[in-house]
Amino acid sequence: MLSRRQLIPIATKSVSPFLRSSITCRRISMGRKELSEKDSNILDSVIRVDQAGELGANQIYKGQHFILQFTDPKVAPTIQHMWDQEKYHLATFDNYVLKNRVRPTFLRPFWDIAGFALGAGTALLGTKAAMACTEAVETVIGGHYNDQLRETAHLENKAPEFKEIRSHLAEFRDDELEHLNTAVEGWNAKEAPAHALLTNAIQMGCKAAIWMCKRF
Amino acid sequence: MLTLRSACQLTTKNLGLHKCISKTVISALGRRGYHSENYETSKISGKKALILENALEHVPQLGFTEDAIVQGGQALGYSNLSKALFPSGPMDLISYFFLKQRYALSSLKPHLTTIPETSGRVVQLIWSRLQGNRDIVQHLPQMIAICTYPSNLRKSLSSLAELSDEILYLAQDKSADFQWYTKRAAISAIYSASELFMSRDTSPNFEATYNFVQHRIQHAKALNDLRNDVLEWGSFQLNAVRSILRSRGI
């Protein structure tokens, strides 16, 4: 019975130094094009910040649902639906993080808590305040996705994987804008108390979060 | 059997690892890139690589020294160029060695598919990487010493971070949250400790080193399970608080 260790292949020493050098260099540079460092950095930050954004959205809806399922049962299914969509968005970006070996944001524990607190806090203020929060967040996120689509436009035809990423960005942007419409037209978000103050503060917070997650 | 003095030295070095771990995490925040299946992002290329490749042939005899680089260059017809081409000297050679060993881990992919557990795959990957040290095991203390020079620390920690990322990627670890960081820090610590252990291991075929790696991974896995239990407990507490608030009419 061979132990598992013995199954590990041991590099052969019989290959001559020159032949091995040639094989090493040739194998590694088999005519593939180099992705430029600038493009690599763009895609790295796009995936990291979007994963963080979808995490934040998840936690906000989780906090809202945590409160509203009891204080306003009529709106809970709508929150649940939007939350389910965000779960799919997050799973998609988690997959991109793993597949493309992108570093996820270092600030994730903070967004976990901040997102939930924001969702639960606005929900405690009432359904309209929760919807104003959704309106503010989705306004910023929708615009952010548009910015990213413009930023990656030149990559569209380079490889199928970039087309796939960009189609997800477009799809998710449309979902976020749908959430925005639901909040404003379906649930009177603009009638929330101190609507302007609330939405402006949340939008500034979201923009700061985006800035940080691009870098950290 | 480690002498008391050796054990103390090993312990001291292990304590030092805790300081390095935070730097490893911080250095992991540094330059990173998008990994594409269609585009190669390799760093190995050109004449420098050829010189270092030949220099590695001399490392078992000469160690990670300027002499090894000079010998490597002479085989290609160069002489006395190492100072200009390789300002960091031995550290450049060590970095190339690390890079080459890291790329070599990819060849384990077919074998890894036969192992069901992620932790089992991680053990095999770390063990395979340590196997790459067999030919130079007598020079490990020297290599580790060079890596810990202040001027070389950033480079060596960066290599360690890249290695832990490679190991977890090849092991198909599915963490994309903050555990991404904690797991990489843990793998870095375990690999460093194992390499130190290996430099003093006299058992046949480094049996003791293999057992050391296994125990460390099992311990890390137990800590991770504990973390999950704590989070689950926290979730229960949160629901309990909400129930209390509801019973008071909120």
Query: Looking at the structure, do residues B137 and B236 belong to the same domain, yes or no?
Result: yes
Query: Looking at the structure, do residues B59 and B111 belong to the same domain, yes or no?
Result: no
Q: Is residue B24 part of a domain?
A: no
For A100, which of B34, B40, B107 is closest by C-beta distance?
B34
Each residue's pLDDT tens digit, B161-207 = 999 999 999 999 888 888 899 999 999 999 999 999 998 888 888 89
Q: Is residue A165 part of a domain?
A: yes
**pLDDT of B14:** 38
For A43, which of B28, B34, B103 is closest by C-beta distance?
B34
Question: Looking at residue A85, which CATH number applies to its domain?
Answer: 1.20.1260
**pLDDT of B1:** 33
Residues 178-197 of B with CB under 8 A from A: 178, 180-181
**pLDDT of B19:** 36
When comparing pLDDT for B14 and B93, which is higher? B93
Shortest Cα distance from A113 to chain B (angstroms)? 12
Q: Is residue A157 part of a domain?
A: yes
Burial of B28 (0-12, 13-18, 19+ CB in 10 A): buried
Contacts of B176 in chain A (CB under 8 A): 51, 93-94, 97-98, 104
Q: What is the mean pLDDT of residues B37-47?
A: 59
Between chains, do A159 and B205 touch, taking CB under 8 Å as contact? no
When comparing pLDDT for B15 and B232, which is higher? B232
Query: Looking at the structure, do residues B225 and B129 belong to the same domain, yes or no?
Result: yes
Q: Is residue B14 part of a domain?
A: no
Contacts of B32 in chain A (CB under 8 A): 44, 102-103
- Nearest chain B residue to A37 by CA: give it: B33
Query: Looking at the structure, do residues B236 and B154 belong to the same domain, yes or no?
Result: yes
B87, B119, B148 — which closes off a domain?
B87
Query: Looking at the structure, do residues B109 and B208 belong to the same domain, yes or no?
Result: yes
Sign, Cα dihedral of B61, B199, B102, B129 = positive
Contacts of A97 in chain B (CB under 8 A): 176, 180
Q: What is the mean pLDDT of residues A176-201?
A: 90
**pLDDT of A154:** 87
Each residue's pLDDT tens digit, A128-184 = 999 999 999 999 999 999 999 999 888 888 788 888 999 999 999 999 999 999 999
Number of Cβ pairs < 8 A linking chain A and chain B: 111
Q: Is residue A184 part of a domain?
A: yes
Q: Does A211 touch chain B (CB under 8 A)?
A: no
Each residue's pLDDT tens digit, B228-245 = 889 889 889 988 888 888
**pLDDT of B73:** 83
**pLDDT of B87:** 78
Number of domains in chain B: 2
For B69, list phi and psi in degrees, rounded to 5.
-65, -40
Q: What percent of chain A has pLDDT over 90?
A: 58
Find out whether B36 and A161 touch, Cβ atoms under 8 Å.
yes
Give the separation between CA A5 and CA A46, rounded to whole angstroms: 41
Residue A96 belongs to domain spanning: 34-215
Q: Does A7 touch chain B (CB under 8 A)?
A: yes
Residue A33 in this model has a pLDDT that exceeds 70: no
Q: Is residue B166 part of a domain?
A: yes
Per residue, the 3-state secondary structure of chain B, as one string, reads CCCHHHHHHHHHHHHHHHHHHHHHHHHHCCCCCCCCCCCCCCCCCHHHHHHHHHHHHHHHHHCCCHHHHHHHHHCCCCCCCHHHHCCCCHHHHHHHHHHHHHHHHHHHHHHHCCCCCHHHHHHHHHHHHHHCCHHHHHHHHHHHHHHCCHHHHHHHHHHHHHHHHHHHHHCCCCCCCCHHHHHHHHHHHHHHHHHHHHCCCCCHHHHHHHHHHHHHHHHHHHHHHHHHHHHHHHHHHHHHHHHHHHHCCC
Q: Is residue A25 part of a domain?
A: no
Q: What is the mean pLDDT of residues B146-154?
A: 88
Query: Looking at the structure, do residues B132 and B61 belong to the same domain, yes or no?
Result: no
Query: Looking at the structure, do residues B69 and B99 belong to the same domain, yes or no?
Result: no
Residue A102 in this model has a pLDDT that exceeds 50: yes
- Nearest chain A residue to B103 by CA: give it: A28
For A104, which of B44, B100, B176 is closest by C-beta distance?
B176
Between chains, do B178 and A109 touch, taking CB under 8 Å as contact? yes
For A104, which of B50, B57, B177 is closest by C-beta distance?
B177
- Nearest chain B residue to A29 by CA: give it: B40
Q: Is residue A59 part of a domain?
A: yes
Query: Looking at the structure, do residues B60 and B179 belong to the same domain, yes or no?
Result: no
Residue A14 in this model has a pLDDT that exceeds 50: no
Residue A32 in this model has a pLDDT that exceeds 60: no
Q: What is the mean pLDDT of residues B56-76?
A: 85
Q: What residue numbers of B does the annotated binding site cover?
A: 181-184
Residue B28 in this model has a pLDDT that exceeds 50: no
Find out whether A182 and A82 touch, Cβ atoms under 8 Å.
yes
Residue B18 in this model has a pLDDT that exceeds 60: no
**pLDDT of A22:** 34
Query: Looking at the structure, do residues B141 and B216 belong to the same domain, yes or no?
Result: yes
Find out whether A65 and A80 touch, Cβ atoms under 8 Å.
yes
Residue B145 belongs to domain spanning: 91-248
Each residue's pLDDT tens digit, B194-221 = 999 998 888 888 899 999 999 999 998 8
Q: Is residue B2 part of a domain?
A: no
Number of domains in chain A: 1
Q: Is residue A10 part of a domain?
A: no
Name the pLDDT band for B31 (thresholds 50, 70, 90): very low
Which residue out of A37, A106, A112, A124 would a mutagenesis test of the B interface target, given it has the greatest number of B Cβ atoms within 10 Å? A106
Average pLDDT score, chain B: 79
Query: Looking at the structure, do residues B198 and B81 belong to the same domain, yes or no?
Result: no
Query: Looking at the structure, do residues B157 and B233 belong to the same domain, yes or no?
Result: yes
Contacts of B34 in chain A (CB under 8 A): 35, 39-44, 47, 100-102
B24, B53, B87 — which closes off a domain?
B87
Q: Is residue B82 part of a domain?
A: yes
Between chains, do B37 and A161 touch, taking CB under 8 Å as contact? yes
Pick the range with the lowest mean pLDDT from A18-27, A88-97, A204-213. Answer: A18-27
Query: Looking at the structure, do residues B128 and B49 belong to the same domain, yes or no?
Result: no
